[in-house]
Chains A and B, each alone.
Chain A
Amino acid sequence: MGTSDPTVRTTPAVDETGDESSQILQTRGLCKAFGGLTATDDVDFGLEKGELRCLIGPNGAGKSTFLNLVTGQLEPTAGKIYYDGHDITEMPSHERVGRGISMKFQVPSIYEGLSVAQNVRIPLQQVADGDEFESRIREILDRFDLLAERQTVASALSHGQQQRLEIGMAMALEPKLMLLDEPVAGLSVEETAEIAELLREIAEDDGVALVVIEHDIDFVESIADRVTVLDQGSIFREGSIEAVKADPEVKRIYLGEER
């Protein structure tokens, strides 16, 4: 395993890509079939360090399947996944997380029965020492505007607070790559703007590479420079948000309803 693998090819994207060494995540010929259905079909994906990329596409395009392959929640039928130059295709989920891949699930996936502070401690204790817990928890909750809620049971938080808490928990791991599955689904306009601001900050200030699955095209436009369009399991288009939005084929498969 390593960057010297001769089978590694540069990603055949629509427009220019960076050199391989700067890429945090690469997939090569990634496939996942569920019985007769090919949910991910020969995907060659590349993501630069610190990049914020949105993954869009119609329902059933294979976006969530793709994320689950990267986190190791699903095993690919074929193909390779490289993270930070290492082949992680066979690596169990929890080890991938240990290397800096963090995930935010579609439905706010927090520990509903535990307090906000306990929630943050669980990922935090993977990277911090015992005597720092208290101060680090405070720091994280302060950043994600949840300090007043630290003793609240997580199930009592509003939907927006739960989304923020989960992003805070994912950030507590000090990841290099964060995958987010519809982080603003069901949020109000104000809450959506807040999350957009947070994600831009995470990419720009913390240098974390982000892959965000999103349906809301305005939200996508507000955070991402580049987008990847998936359709029927394959990469359909990849490029700047303007270029993708202007592409008549993309309009046809995805933005059709907005015509």
Chain B
Amino acid sequence: MSLGSDSSGGLLAAVREPFEGPNTMGNTPAFWLGLTAAVTLLAAMPVLFGYYAAEIGAVFLAYALLGVSLCFIWGYCGILSFGQVAFFGVAGYAFGIVAINVPTLTGLTLGLLAAVAVSTAFAAALGYFMFYGGVRDVYVTILTLVVALVLYTFLGQTAGGEWAIGDARLGGFNGMSGVPDLGVGIGSVGLEIGIVGHYYVTLGALVVTYLGLRALVNSQFGYAMVATREDERRTEMFGYDTTFIKFVVFTIGGAIAGLSGVLFTAQNNYIDPSVFGITAAALPVVWASVGGRTSLIGTIGAALAIQFVDYQLALSGSEWALVLIGSLLVFVILVMPEGVAPRLHEYVVEYRASPDPTPAETPAPGEVHGGDD
């Protein structure tokens, strides 16, 4: 099923095969080499820069995972959700509530699973009512943003002592603190995951999600997603249940956003309603727009780069981080509306233009972003 991909034989090509196709950029050995280098570099961060890099880096990686969840549903299926943070935050709070009440290995494992299940179910319920109710295009964007803002308002008024679930106090705008680190296991058998461990778990989750989504978007279902994005009515007239496709895609996006929310909350040991705020809600849209919404790797690179710059500016005491991010968004949308990675891909294809009729493909946009933090 790898139309248009080069078919240089061998084991390596066979391994690459399910991850490649015309629905993703980067179908060449050079791309995979670059990606491996970038992942290796990211994996070396805690070794090179120590404990502190792991602590900060894990947050950036969790953000990248959130960005990927939007890239997947927006870039590949045309569903612009402005409320991916709703699933991110709901999962974060859900993990916190379970983990604070049962801070054992079993409890932490259950907390992780329950939180992802809650965000998935939440996305499925919202998606069901939206798509089967005929809500589409910009109204999906508005509705998802409203859901995030409603959660922001709701959790903001949970300061009172009556807003506690067991030992977990929601805490209103002060947030919920004392959320334990991640842990995986049953009874006394398992692993408590410390700061460096958490960094690697988050990196692993990002890499696995990235590869999984690449395989998915190049599968038959991926073609159906892309077709739905391009022209929903036409796709329906090719026998696809586009409503169901959008529902499934939105639900998967909610699950990924939920996982990123758990990783974020467990890393910070804290969550507050600002994760549902309009600034937070806009960030995934900025990452995907700048990096390129049709490029998973572009969105990851943009999320890492933008959050790194944002963090550096905040460290230096600058108030200009948001202004800079906003200006960057405007600049990219004006100069390259499709985003950085698709534009780079175009340059590379042109540069490689060869007599070979199959299109030459890209090296890693990841190479460009790999060293960003």
Q: Return the CB mask of A82-118 against B: 1 if under 8 Å, else 0.
A: 0000000000111101100011010001111111011
B167 in the interface (beta carbon within 8 A): no
Q: How far is the CB of B337 from chain A (nearest CB, A)?
A: 13
Pick the contact of A118: B3, B234, B238, B241 (CB < 8 A).
B3
A151 in the interface (beta carbon within 8 A): yes
CB-nearest residue of chain B to A137: B3
B230 in the interface (beta carbon within 8 A): yes
Taken together as a complex, chains A and B put the C-alpha atoms of A98 and B241 apart, in Å, by 10
Taken together as a complex, chains A and B put the C-alpha atoms of A95 and B359 apart, in Å, by 36
Count of CB-CB pairs between chains A and B under 8 Å: 74
Q: Are B238 and A123 in contact (CB under 8 A)?
A: yes
A121 in the interface (beta carbon within 8 A): yes
A:101-144 near B, CB below 8 Å: 102-103, 105, 109-115, 117-118, 121-123, 125-126, 130, 133-134, 137
Q: Are A114 and B236 in contact (CB under 8 A)?
A: no
Taken together as a complex, chains A and B put the C-alpha atoms of A39 and B240 apart, in Å, by 28
Taken together as a complex, chains A and B put the C-alpha atoms of A95 and B234 apart, in Å, by 14
Q: Are B234 and A105 in contact (CB under 8 A)?
A: yes
Q: Are B237 and A103 in contact (CB under 8 A)?
A: yes
Taken together as a complex, chains A and B put the C-alpha atoms of A244 and B241 apart, in Å, by 40
B185 in the interface (beta carbon within 8 A): no
Taken together as a complex, chains A and B put the C-alpha atoms of A113 and B228 apart, in Å, by 12
Taken together as a complex, chains A and B put the C-alpha atoms of A61 and B224 apart, in Å, by 35
Q: Are B3 and A169 in contact (CB under 8 A)?
A: no
Q: Are A173 and B238 in contact (CB under 8 A)?
A: yes
A23 in the interface (beta carbon within 8 A): no
Q: Are A122 and B224 in contact (CB under 8 A)?
A: yes
B:221-259 near A, CB below 8 Å: 223-224, 226-227, 230-231, 233-242
Q: Are A115 and B231 in contact (CB under 8 A)?
A: no
Q: Which residues of A contact B22 (CB under 8 A)?
A: 114-115, 117-118
Q: Are A109 and B234 in contact (CB under 8 A)?
A: yes
Q: Are A109 and B231 in contact (CB under 8 A)?
A: yes
Q: Are A71 and B237 in contact (CB under 8 A)?
A: yes
Q: Which residues of A contact B359 (CB under 8 A)?
A: 151
Q: Are A97 and B3 in contact (CB under 8 A)?
A: no
With a 10 A CB-CB cut-off, give which of A109, A125, A169 has the most chain B CB atoms: A125
B50 in the interface (beta carbon within 8 A): no
With a 10 A CB-CB cut-off, give which of B1, B237, B238 has the most chain A CB atoms: B237
Q: Which residues of A contact B1 (CB under 8 A)?
A: 130, 133
Taken together as a complex, chains A and B put the C-alpha atoms of A125 and B235 apart, in Å, by 12
Q: Return the CB mask of B323-360 against A: 1 if under 8 Å, else 0.
A: 00000000000000000000000000000000001110
Q: Which residues of B contact A173 (CB under 8 A)?
A: 238-239
Known contacts A115-B22, A125-B220, A93 near B237 by CB under 8 Å: yes
Q: Are B231 and A111 in contact (CB under 8 A)?
A: yes
Q: How far is the CB of B152 from chain A (nearest CB, A)?
A: 36
Taken together as a complex, chains A and B put the C-alpha atoms of A18 and B240 apart, in Å, by 33
Taken together as a complex, chains A and B put the C-alpha atoms of A92 and B22 apart, in Å, by 30
Q: Are A151 and B235 in contact (CB under 8 A)?
A: no
Q: Are B357 and A151 in contact (CB under 8 A)?
A: yes
Q: How far is the CB of B231 from chain A (nearest CB, A)?
A: 6
A73 in the interface (beta carbon within 8 A): yes
Q: Are B238 and A97 in contact (CB under 8 A)?
A: yes
Q: Which residues of A contact B231 (CB under 8 A)?
A: 109, 111
Pick the contact of A122: B4, B235, B358 (CB < 8 A).
B235
A:25-84 near B, CB below 8 Å: 71, 73
Q: Which residues of A contact B240 (CB under 8 A)?
A: 94, 126
Taken together as a complex, chains A and B put the C-alpha atoms of A130 and B234 apart, in Å, by 22
CB-nearest residue of chain B to A117: B3
Q: Which residues of B contact A93 (CB under 8 A)?
A: 236-237
Taken together as a complex, chains A and B put the C-alpha atoms of A71 and B4 apart, in Å, by 33
Q: Which residues of A contact B223 (CB under 8 A)?
A: 118, 121-122, 125
Taken together as a complex, chains A and B put the C-alpha atoms of A45 and B241 apart, in Å, by 28
Taken together as a complex, chains A and B put the C-alpha atoms of A109 and B230 apart, in Å, by 10
Taken together as a complex, chains A and B put the C-alpha atoms of A102 and B236 apart, in Å, by 11
Taken together as a complex, chains A and B put the C-alpha atoms of A117 and B357 apart, in Å, by 13
Q: Which residues of B contact A103 (CB under 8 A)?
A: 237
CB-nearest residue of chain B to A126: B239
Q: Which residues of A contact B238 (CB under 8 A)?
A: 97, 122-123, 126, 169, 173
Q: Which residues of A contact B358 (CB under 8 A)?
A: 151
Q: How far is the CB of B24 from chain A (nearest CB, A)?
A: 12
| Nearest 6 A/B pairs, CB to CB | A97-B239, A111-B230, A123-B238, A122-B227, A98-B239, A103-B237
User: Can you list 12 A-B contacts with CB-CB less than 8 angstroms, sorted by A residue number?
Assistant: A93-B237, A94-B236, A102-B237, A103-B237, A105-B237, A109-B233, A111-B227, A121-B223, A123-B239, A126-B239, A137-B3, A173-B239
- Supply 4 further A-B pairs (C-beta < 8 A) apart from A95-B239, A121-B3, A151-B4: A118-B3, A118-B22, A126-B239, A137-B3
